[in-house]
Amino acid sequence: MKFGRRRLEEPEINLIPFIDVLLVVLIFLMLSTTYSRFTELQINLPAADAEKLRERPAEVIVAVAADGRYAVNRRAVDGRSVEALTAALVAAAAGRPDTVVIVSADALAAHQTVVNVLDAARRAGLSRLTFAAQAAGTAPR
């Protein structure tokens, strides 16, 4: 019988299976991840189903065409500048500061043309604004 001390072997950690699993997970994530680019957003304007107001205060309807032309209360505005639109709003409001400005913009109108209407209303001293929307499921007129 041999009662001598045994040599202790140092444990060895094998990293190769661990690296294999990590590479498989990495490849899976690379293949399943979508890289989307938001270069253009296509949006549809909202539709509303709110009830119409029964009592209407003094209101001015500003229509904005797709090509940037304006009409105030169905009268075309000469020019496309903010100053011309401000003068038309002042004339249509007739000095009543509680007048509501209803912006009815075409779906294809540029954002800047709508911002011009908001700027003209501010210059005219009209602070009550609202946007017109078509009822859901109805065709535009």
pLDDT for position 54: 55
Q: Collect the ranges in the chain with pLDDT lower than 50.
A: 38-41
List alpha helices for 15-132, DSSP H.
Answer: 16-32, 82-93, 111-123
Rg, the chain, Cα only: 33
pLDDT for position 68: 86
Q: Which domains does the chain have, with CATH numbers?
A: 59-131 (3.30.420.270)
Burial tier of 107 (Cβ tally within 10 Å: 0-12, 13-18, 19+)? exposed
pLDDT for position 67: 87
pLDDT for position 8: 75
pLDDT for position 97: 75
* 8 Å CB contact between 85 and 77: yes
pLDDT for position 58: 84
pLDDT for position 23: 95
* 8 Å CB contact between 105 and 65: no
Choose among 80, 82, 58: nearest CA to 70: 80
pTM, two decimals, is: 0.57
User: What are 2's two structure tokens?
Assistant: 């041999």
